[in-house]
Amino acid sequence: MDFICNFPFFSILLSLFSGTVCSVLSAKAARIVNRVVILAVGLMSAALLFYLLSTGESFIYWMGHFPAPWGNEIRAGVLEAGMALFFCIIMYLSMAGGAHKLPSEVVESKHNLYYILVNLLLSSLLALVYTNDMFTAYVFVEINTISACGLIMIRQVGRTIEAAVRYMIMSLLGSGLLLFGLCIMYDLTGHLLMSNIKESVELIVANGEYQVPLIVSVALMCTGLCIKSALFPFHAWLPDAYGYSTVSSAAILSSLVSKGYIFLLIKIIYRVIGFSVFNSTRMIDVLFVFGLMGMIFGSLSAIKENDIRRMIAFSSVAQIGYIYMGFGMGTQAGMVASIFHILSHAATKSLLFIAAIGLTDVSGGSRKFVDLTGAAYRNKWAGAAFTVGSLSMVGIPLFSGFISKLLFAQAAVQVEGKMLASLIVLGISTVLNAVYFMKTVIRIYTSEPEAPYEGITFRNMRAYAVTLVCFILLNIILGVSSQPVVDMIGQGLAMFA
């Protein structure tokens, strides 16, 4: 086994450890540690990705060299490494983009706490991505929840605490269901490692035994993760949580945290239950229907919203609906589309959050649309970035959103029963997206170009502007050369089997 196979373990441990270290550091040092760790983990993931692409097969890493079925395992394939890399990129950019706002949002003495939470979040995300053990996954789901909750409430306003409480409650309901489902699965199969469970599940299905408990377990796990990732009827906590937390938190929460759970669900579908078994349950139809409803109702709520950040948050509900619709199609193509949408949505949504803060900053801190009139003239970088993000969300070619819609549509055309429903809803939801995003874009570009807002030039916003440019580039890269990414996703899914 090559040395590089240690990297997944290293990256989890590094971020976990650095989180602990941050607690004794000053705010500035903690920030540097945080950045360095994210970069290091990103580099390791990139190296791992190249290694895996060159060897062409995944590997399993025994923690402490205890072999299955006793030991705890880490598994790395192309998809895992790619996700880890992508998460790091988004997290780094989100942190960089929100850094200048942090002093005004969080009390100075709590800054290092903030970085602890971010590091913990990173480690739990990495663990969710890499782990091969169901119970470890559960534990890190809880760690993820706790750190996400911390990220929401570290900005001490009444709203955020309330949002954090609501978020906690929904998350706990979700993880309770997940844990119960997992225990039933353990009960049925006697294993906790994903690969072993899958073998047993195949046996059980082949013998036709324990149908009801199996379905109950699958349903419980799915529902749990759906609640945690804010699928449509369970999204009540989301707008407040994303709308009022700090900028970086909002960007990270919307683009990464819910995606971590979704990625876990993908792993469960492929590595625990088995894709074909999962498709034979009713669960995919349920996911499909709720996905479609989310796409429409999320957008409708966003249209009604009068607050730019809550609007973006509601649009997340719709986008998560897209992802679940892809799951619900029950085909490989649908799954590829969903995974691509995870990437494209993460890149776009964090861009929108970061750009929105630039716009609200130059409008006297107000997030009401009325006050945002002409904001794009006052902060040109943020305006341009918001426009790009909106165009991507609306699905204009050359941006990442178009490709994911294209993939969804291509997947939908291949599924007989669900074709019409998904295409129609896709169309409606795209138009609704266009309604609220283009409305906002026009709003921020109408009015007299007054004198530029004090001090918003490239020089004093260098970090912010560079971040925005990186995000825009990321979006365009995903939109223009999507084929390698799609190929990689396909390869990664093939490794799952």
Positions in the binding site for another protein (CB under 8 A):
70, 135, 138-139, 142, 145-146, 149, 153, 157-159, 161-162, 164-166, 168-169, 172-173, 176-177, 179-180, 183, 186-187, 192, 391, 394, 396-398, 403, 406-407, 409-410, 412-414, 423, 427, 430-431, 434-435, 438-439, 442, 445-449, 480-483, 486
Output phi, psi for 286, to 5 deg: -60, -50
Nearer to another protein, 174 or 274 (CB): 174
- Within 362-418, residue ranges assigned H as helices are 375-378, 380-394, 400-414
Question: Residue 57 or residue 416: which is nearer to another protein going by CB?
Answer: 416
- In the complex with another protein, the residue whose CB is nearer, 52 or 412, is 412
Smallest separation (angstroms) from another protein to the CB of 249:
16
Phi, then psi, of 82 in degrees rounded to 5: -60, -45
Nearest to another protein of 446, 460 (CB atom): 446
User: Taking the complex as a whole, how short is the minimal distance between the CB of residue 28 and another protein, in angstroms?
Assistant: 27
Give the residue with the Cβ less far from another protein, 42 or 395: 395
CB of 23 to another protein, least distance (A): 16
Taking the complex as a whole, the smallest distance from the CB of residue 3 to another protein amounts, in Å, to: 30
Query: In terms of CB distance, is 48 or 141 closer to another protein?
Result: 141
- Quick one: 23 or 26, whose CB is closer to another protein? 23
CA of residue 11 relative to chain centroid, distance: 19
How would you classify residue 281: left for phi > 0, otherwise alpha for psi between -120 and 50, otherwise beta? beta
Instruction: Tell how strand 72-76 and strand 59-63 pair up.
Output: antiparallel
Give the CA count within 13 Å in the CB-facing half-sphere of 234: 24
Rounded Cα distance, 162 and 164, in Å: 5
Bridge partners of 62, per DSSP, are 73
CB of 83 to another protein, least distance (A): 21
Nearest Cα to Cα of residue 251 among 433, 440, 467: 467
Shortest approach of another protein to residue 389 CB, angstroms?
14
Least distance in angstroms from the C-beta of 135 to another protein: 6
For 117, the enclosing helix (H) or strand (E) is helix 111-130
- DSSP-based three-state secondary structure for 274: coil
